[in-house]
Every structure is written in C-alpha cells, then in structure tokens.
A = this chain, B = another copy of it.
Amino acid sequence: MRNQVPEPTLRRLPGYLFFLEKVREDGVLNVSAPTIGKALKCDPTQVVKDLSVTGIKGKPRVGYNTYELCHALEEYLGFNRLNEAFLVGAGNLGSALMAYQEHQTLGIKIIAAFDVNKDKIGQHIGGTHVLEYNKLFHLSNRLDVKIAILTTPNNVAQDVAEDLVNCGVKAIWNFTHTNLVLPEDIIVQNTSMSSFAAVLLSRLNDSEN
C-alpha cells in the first residue's frame, strides 16, 4: 500500500513533521488540520489526506494529538531511525551537505565521506571524516550502510555508483547530472541543484520576454 503514496505527498510529510515538532515544543497538545494548513499554506483537505498515510486520524473539534502525530510521522518517514549513509565526493556540494546534515534535518546521518583528492582526505566536516576512496570497500564490509549520497564529478558518477552497489548500498541520492544505470532494485533519487536553478532561470527568462 505504501508505495502507492504519491511523491508530492511524501515530499510534504517532512514539512508537517517539522511544524508539529515546533508545536509540540511549545507544549500544544492538539492541533487541527486547518491550523496546520494555515501554517504551511496548504489546503486543510490536503492536510487530512496527506496525514492519513500515517494511519493517524484527527478527532472532530479537537484535531490531532500532537505527540501521537509527530511520532507517527517520524516512524513513517524513518526519521526516528538512524539512517546511516556514506557520502562520496567531498567537494563543494558534498562538504556543504556534510556541514548541513550535522543538524540532522535531513533524516540521514552521514557516517563517513570518501574522496580521491588528497587535499580533502583527513578533513573533518560537520562531525564526519573524509576518508580515502579505497577505504569504502573495507568499511562497507564492516558496516551495513544502505544509503549513499553521490556528489562526485559527473564523469565518475556511474563508476562510483556501481562500486557503491557492490558494497551493498540500496539507495543512492544522486546530486550529479549523470543518469545512473543500475540494477532495478536500487533506489535512485536525483537531485541536481543546478537543474533546479536551470528551471528557475528559464522560467524567469520566459516571463521577461
């Protein structure tokens, strides 16, 4: 059933979670769909539909139990589990992600980063060490890491992705422009930053012409 949940819904779920965590911190016990909707600029009907994937239902005239819903969302998103990941390519974007993930807003914990650049190896960024790329093979034997973040140059992305799959990685968050060709059971999430910039700039350009 879960895999029928549409991607737009999945994308909205962390927003609900972050809002509810904030509300919970403020000691609010119950929160209604219209309140959530108002805060996140989302239609209340959509809120109810989105949140129903967690199995939690709001009560009429009371709303959702904040604690229960937070817990259900964390559980559903897997944010309460230690989602350990390798990162390959500690360049500009890789380093930025390492610095960012320290604050655990990604739901993913980078436990080791790898690079071939000697200037990068040995660095300590966002609580994580950058190791020599070759150590990936040894380390993956010891650790059961299923997630990898790929921030290498485009031209080595396919080779590195294949190495990662051989090391037991099941899901790759691909920040490169390379269209990875991997076994069907490997999950690939493409997130090229400059692609988003390209869409934005192109639309802006269109609107000005």
Contacts and interface: CB of A to CB of B under 8 A. Distances in A.
The count of identical subunits is 2
A145 to B, nearest CB: 12
Contact of A193 (B39, B106, B205): B106
B83 A92 contact: no
A62 interface: no
Contacts of A207: 170, 185, 187
Given A41-B181, A198-B107, A171 B96 contact: no
Given A200-B171, A204-B187, A195 B92 contact: no
A166 interface: no
B197 A14 contact: yes
B18 A195 contact: no
A177 B18 contact: yes
A103 B99 contact: no
B39 A194 contact: no
20 contacts: A2-B202, A10-B202, A11-B192, A11-B198, A11-B199, A14-B194, A15-B179, A19-B155, A19-B177, A39-B155, A40-B154, A40-B177, A77-B201, A77-B202, A96-B97, A106-B197, A107-B201, A147-B204, A170-B204, A187-B204
